[in-house]
Amino acid sequence: MRKLAPLLAATALAAAACGSSGGSGGGSTLKIGFIESLTGNYAPLGGEAKKTVELAVEQINTAGGIDGRKIKLITLDDRTAPDQGVLHFNKLKSEKVTAIIGSTFSNVGLAVEPLAERERIPYISLSPADEQVNPIRKYTFVVPAISSTYAEAMLSYFKAHQITKIAVAYDTKSAYAKAGFAGMQKYAGQNGVQIVKEETFETTASDFSPLFTHVRDSGAQALVAWASGPPGVTLAKQYPSSGLKLPLFMTGSQASKLWLEPVGKAAEGVYVQSAIGVVADHLPDGKLKQSVEEMSGPFEQKYGYEPPQFAMDGYAGVKLLAAAIDKAGTDREKIRDALESLTLVTPCGQYTYSKTDHSGLKPTDISMNQVKDGKLVPTEWSVKQLAETAKAAG
């Protein structure tokens, strides 16, 4: 087995060989492609993932690389557009990259994934759309908990708190949101939950008052919103003036300062799901918390704020790929096989990929939080659940 050199402490980090241009890898480098939304609607999300992808590469390279080979990161901007993702995939293929880390934007991920399958290139996706791994695609592995897993986790919370009737609103132009709603439909019954009102909107929506009016007389005990980007901000800002007295629940797309800051006081009391790493301060000491701190310490030192949800995904993606290369070498087929048998603790939780699971995370790897004084605080229910998850990770 190849040996991945131990990571150095944050204070010892040096400049990495990360860049946006190609070039021959040579015998001493590993070329890894990275397609991300750095301009367009998803730029705020993609920009956070880019920071931690680069951080993880920097840490690995500073520590000596993988079996003595440094990672050369080739970063390309998909501009939040699926067709750009396709163009960039073809460029990376011509660069003969060892593997590709994919976009935060689900629609780009869904456009690139079939190409990765056709060309047999390991594809580590940072987008949570279920369709990428359900049914299983041989070369595609997803880093964030997929939409249906978020849905299952939320419904488990409802079951534990006797919430039996809900209204669900979702963005019909977002693969992430549509998959989330489908997950709610799939798992609602087994959790004793009934969807009494279904409301749709589009990514360009700016007035949610009609939606709130439709929910008002539905008999729902809670409103669940599946949104990402601007609509998630707008809906939450307008909610306090809607007259609705129902609790508002939102998903991992809102688990960052990119949502908290623009929503401001209107965010108080809103329930927001997140990856474990977002609320790592509430974890007991152990392997899982240590994994988060390995990333969050250097991140906060460099950028001056806590890493958000999307940053967790970028870092975990590099760590998963590096662990597979460490185990298997640089042959793409062997990397794929290594990923499929990989178990690894990361800031997002403990991944256990298999032949029947290319997502790797479980509902218990997701925290249900509430906004208090501008911060995401795990509910008492989640604190107990996270302690069990941390214990299982070691």
In CATH, what number does 148-282+366-393 get? Answer: 3.40.50.2300
Q: What is the pLDDT, as a whole number, of residue 224?
A: 98
- Asked whether the beta carbons of 92 and 33 are under 8 A apart, the reply is yes
Buried b (16+ CB within 10 A) or exposed e, 24-39: ebeeebbbbbbbbbbe
Which tens digits make up the pLDDT trace of 280-292? 999 999 999 999 9
CATH superfamily, domain 30-145+285-362, is: Response regulator (3.40.50.2300)
Q: In 3D, which of 179, 49, 20 has the Cα closest to residue 106?
A: 179
Q: Three-class SS of residue 35?
A: strand
Is pLDDT of 44 > 50? Answer: yes
Q: Give the Cα separation of 154 and 215 in Å (integer).
A: 19
Residue spans in the chain of domains classed CATH 3.40.50.2300: 30-145+285-362, 148-282+366-393
Q: What is the pLDDT, as a whole number, of residue 27?
A: 57
pLDDT band (50, 70, 90) for residue 308: confident
pTM of the full structure: 0.86
